[in-house]
């Protein structure tokens, strides 16, 4: 089965503009992602330096072209990245799913950016692939992300843990949260 069509280069709504990462974002990516919380909760390289940012940008472009993963900088003005949200088609899962992942830079938290970015991606997923379920995968002890999940209309499922490799670290064990149609 093929993945749904690649979405437009940017998605706007809820006071946000989600856009692709650009070459000029490399230093900002380092400022956002070179943080212990990103090292703990994400598979991003740690330390996250300019070389890691360059590799991440290149991988982002390759993923976008293939439709495997779509990575968007979260902005309020279309220019300054404050974090990231990912759209990951999971056509091999039964039932088929779209997984959303996100991370907001530590200096930008507490403004509802993660909630709004996730809700915007849910809306986009429902428009792009209406029959796919929309999920988040969150570590059991990541309480902040669980709060975002609840506030964005997701509920914890009783599905088996998902194991994700994190280069240079122990694999992450993640719980699946499913969006409830009609929720916020």
Query: Residue 2: which residues within 8 A CB-CB, separation 6 or more?
Result: 91
Q: State residue 182 phi and psi, 5-degree precision.
A: 90, -10
Q: What is the pLDDT of residue 184?
A: 58
Q: What is the pLDDT of residue 2?
A: 45
Q: What is the pLDDT of residue 119?
A: 97
6 part of a folded domain? no
112 part of a folded domain? yes
173 part of a folded domain? no
In angstroms, the CA 156 to CA 146 distance is: 9
| Gap between the terminal Cα atoms of the chain | 30
44 part of a folded domain? yes
Residue 82, preceding peptide bond in cis (omega within 30° of 0):
no
pTM, rounded to two decimals = 0.91
- CA dihedral over 65, 69, 75, 77, signed as positive or negative: positive
- Return the SS3 of 72: strand
Q: What does each C-alpha distance from 40 to 90, 121, 171 come to in angstroms?
A: 24, 23, 11
Name residues of the chain where pLDDT drops below 70: 1-8, 183-184
Beta strands in the chain (DSSP E): 11-13, 16-19, 70-75, 83-90, 97-104, 133-139, 154-156, 162-164, 172-179
Q: What is the pLDDT of residue 167?
A: 72
184 part of a folded domain? no
Distance of CA 126 to the CA centre of its chain: 16
The domain of 106 spans 11-134
Domain count, the chain: 1
149 part of a folded domain? no
Q: Which two tokens stand for residue 94?
A: 């039964």
Q: Any idea how long the chain is?
A: 184
Q: State residue 27 phi and psi, 5-degree precision.
A: -65, -40
CATH number of the domain where residue 76 is located: 3.40.630.30
């Amino acid at each position: 089965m093929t993945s749904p069509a690649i979405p437009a280069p940017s998605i706007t709504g809820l006071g946000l503009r989600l856009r692709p990462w650009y070459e000029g974002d490399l230093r900002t990516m380092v400022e956002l992602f070179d943080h212990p919380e990103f090292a703990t909760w994400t598979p991003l390289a740690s330390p996250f330096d300019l070389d890691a940012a360059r590799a991440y940008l290149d991988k982002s472009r390759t993923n976008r072209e293939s439709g495997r993963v779509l990575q968007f900088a979260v902005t309020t003005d279309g220019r300054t990245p404050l974090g990231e949200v990912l759209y990951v088609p999971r056509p091999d899962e039964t039932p088929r799913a779209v997984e959303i992942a996100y991370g907001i830079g530590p200096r930008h938290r507490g403004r509802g950016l993660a909630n709004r970015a996730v809700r915007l991606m849910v809306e986009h997923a429902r428009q792009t692939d209406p029959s796919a379920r929309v999920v988040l995968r969150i570590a059991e002890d990541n309480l902040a992300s669980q709060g975002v999940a609840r506030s964005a209309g997701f509920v914890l499922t009783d599905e088996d843990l998902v194991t994700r490799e994190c280069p240079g670290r122990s694999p992450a064990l993640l719980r699946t949260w499913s969006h409830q149609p009609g929720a916020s």
